[in-house]
Amino acid sequence: MSYKNHAEKFVGQKVAVLCARYQYRGLLSAVDDECTVLANSTAVEISGSAQLETPQTEDNIGSSIIIKNDAIELLYQPKWAMAKLPAER
């Protein structure tokens, strides 16, 4: 099964994405053969433990982000990924 097929199962959910040493989190809004889109996204500077309620340090990006699938190392749902996003605060 392809990355797209697996990732599509998480559309509409909060996720974290690790991309070449940077992490982002947001609402997974779309996945296609080329890219993944996170809405209401943040850049996670310091995540801390996967079991924390919120990331230790993050910056509000203020928009959706489009990430090339070949840059994604990991799409996952640590506990801190479920914290309120900027538009929910």
> What are the structural domain ranges in the chain?
3-83
In this prediction, residues 12-22 reach a mean pLDDT of: 95
How buried is residue 33: exposed, middle or buried, by Cβ count under 10 Å (0-12/13-18/19+)? exposed
Q: Bridge-partner residues for 75, per DSSP?
A: 17
| Domain 3-83 in this protein, CATH class | mainly beta
Distance between CA atoms of residues 11 and 62, nearest Å: 20
Residue-wise pLDDT tens digits, 20-61 = 889 999 999 999 999 999 999 999 999 999 999 999 999 999
In this prediction, residues 61-74 reach a mean pLDDT of: 97
Say which amino acid occupies 45.
E
Measure Cα distances from 53 to 4, 17, 33, 37, 46 in Å: 28, 17, 32, 23, 13
